[in-house]
């Protein structure tokens, strides 16, 4: 079964092959929560988390497909356009701050 309604969707396998990025509970930093559309499974969470994790200063990313929320901890506030570009690279759409 390979019915993929969203070009970024990977749920045709019925399970997840990735999990969201591990949490980093270091003290300090800035935490922001973003709304992302199109995530439907663990693989989606992993793809978004991986791309955002590559942004300079990011220390932790947790993506939750069920809510469409991505929590990002970074050393300093991130440029929203940089986050948007990372989410786009993963194949999803940044709706904006949650």
pLDDT tens for each residue of 19-46: 333 333 445 699 999 999 999 999 999 9
3-state class (DSSP) for residue 53: helix
Domain boundaries along the sequence of the chain = 11-97
Please report the sign of the dihedral spanned by the C-alpha atoms of residue 30, residue 64, residue 26, residue 89: negative
Q: What is the pLDDT of residue 27?
A: 53
Residues of the chain under the 70 pLDDT cut: 1-28
CATH code of the domain made up of 11-97: 3.30.70.100
Q: What is the pLDDT of residue 21?
A: 36
**pTM of the predicted model as reported, rounded to 2 decimal places:** 0.73
């Amino acid at each position: 079964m390979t019915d993929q309604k969203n070009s970024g969707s990977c749920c045709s396998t019925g399970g997840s092959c990735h999990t969201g990025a591990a949490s980093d509970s270091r003290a300090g930093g800035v935490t922001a929560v973003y709304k992302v559309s199109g995530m439907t499974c663990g693989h989606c969470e992993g793809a978004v988390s991986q791309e955002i994790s590559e942004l300079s200063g990011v220390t932790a990313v947790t993506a939750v497909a069920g809510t469409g929320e991505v929590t990002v901890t970074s050393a300093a506030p991130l440029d929203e356009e940089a986050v948007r570009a990372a989410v786009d690279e993963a194949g999803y759409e940044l709706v904006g701050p949650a």
